[in-house]
Amino acid sequence: MMRKYPIKLAPQVRTALWGREIWLVSAYPSQPSVVENGPYAGRTLPELAAEFGEGLMGAKAAEKGGFPLLVKVIEAKDRLSLQVHPSETTRHLCGGDPKTEMWYVLDGCEPGACIFAGLADGVDAHALQRSLHDGSAESLVKRFAVGRGDVMFIPGGLVHAIGAGCRLYEVQQTSDTTWRLHDWDRVDAKTGLPRKLHEREGLAAIDWTLPPPTLRHDCAGAAQPLVDCRHFSFSGMSISMPETLSIDADSCRILFADEGGCMMSADGGEPVRVEEGECVLVPAGVMLTVEPCTCLHLLSASL
């Protein structure tokens, strides 16, 4: 039987041409998270998922196989490539693992920062392909100015890019498949070469039936999740007094301290301190007590 407590995982930093991303919760085979507290310290998340299954992840995870979510913070000094991830439908045309994700804009996002999501009205495959070669691709993608608390849902099959100066919290399916359509004609300073593009795969990965994306905002006290899709549910919550949260048996919970710190304990066990900017994985089927040290805002993801 699993010993259940708020599990802290060691962050992993990946650097890129455009900035860096910090993997907070990962069961991806090449970069698995390692537990850094409690009786399971030193063990990897895939090991715990394999050993405890529903006891850790909840009943919904049994349908998905393996730990299904990957969580990271993205710090973009420069804009990311114009890209697309496969969906469950388009993966059969382009290869790779499906990847639906969402972004939450954190503190530290620079004034004037923007994201790109979805194609302009009337753009078809021929127009997009032509734009990838004549330098006009940016004009065919919708641009959204963003600030702290803004939320964008990016289903697999949607063309998108993160703009320079963005600092985002990302929840996604466990996948590392990205098809780059356009990289703004950059070259890697280390190699002097442009990064590889995936025009054929990227065009095949686009789901032309998706509705236009919309930008949402995290409003204090909102009753409905900010994102609720078949892969995950996501919400924000402000806590100013000690509170007990019921984590049901269907799903574990990933909690990120977006603002403020707290003490957390599961089923009356030993408290775990969570600082601002830290993430914990809470096993399914526990009563979680949260005692804020200051005004606390948590980002919550579940299956």
User: Which are the catalytic amino acids?
Assistant: 180
Sheet holding 69-76, edge to edge: 12-16, 19-25, 69-76, 166-173, 101-105, 150-154, 215-217
* Count of CB atoms situated within 10 Å of the CB of 111: 7
Are 62 and 52 contacting, i.e. CB atoms less than 8 angstroms apart? no
Are 179 and 207 contacting, i.e. CB atoms less than 8 angstroms apart? no
> Exposure of 117 by Cβ count < 10 A (0-12 exposed, 13-18 middle, 19+ buried)?
buried
Q: Which two tokens stand for residue 92?
A: 């059969």
Which positions ≥6 away from 196 have C-beta within 8 Å? 180
Nearest to 150 by CA among 101, 216, 102: 216
Alpha helices in the chain (DSSP H): 45-52, 54-57, 91-94, 125-134, 199-205
**H/E stretch holding 253:** strand 253-259
